[in-house]
Amino acid sequence: MPRMQVYLPDDLYEKVKERSLPVSALLQEAVRAELHRQQLLERMDTYLSELVADVGEPSVRDLARAEAIARRIREHHAEQAS
């Protein structure tokens, strides 16, 4: 397995050492998660481009309706968290 040197700020290094965390495993998991996130974003961009090509750009009315729905979801989530 190839090795890679990673630099941490002093405060982060101290916290990792205090907790005896398995740094290598944590970093591997974080890198995998970030690569997966980027892959999903790329797929979403492709999907949205294909969708716009098929049905066209959303109208101002469509965007306003989507924002209203998103706002209601955020408000509901905030109420559930309280």
Alpha helix segments (H runs only) across the chain: 10-19, 23-55, 60-81
Q: CA 30 → CA 25, 41, 48, 70, distances in Å?
A: 9, 16, 27, 28
For range 6-34, the mean pLDDT: 96
pLDDT band of residue 39 (cuts 50, 70, 90) is very high
**pLDDT for residue 5 is more than 90:** yes
Q: Give the pLDDT confidence score for residue 82 in this predicted structure.
A: 86
| 19 token code pair | 């907790």
**pLDDT for residue 1 is more than 90:** no
**pLDDT for residue 32 is more than 90:** yes
pTM above 0.75, yes or no: no
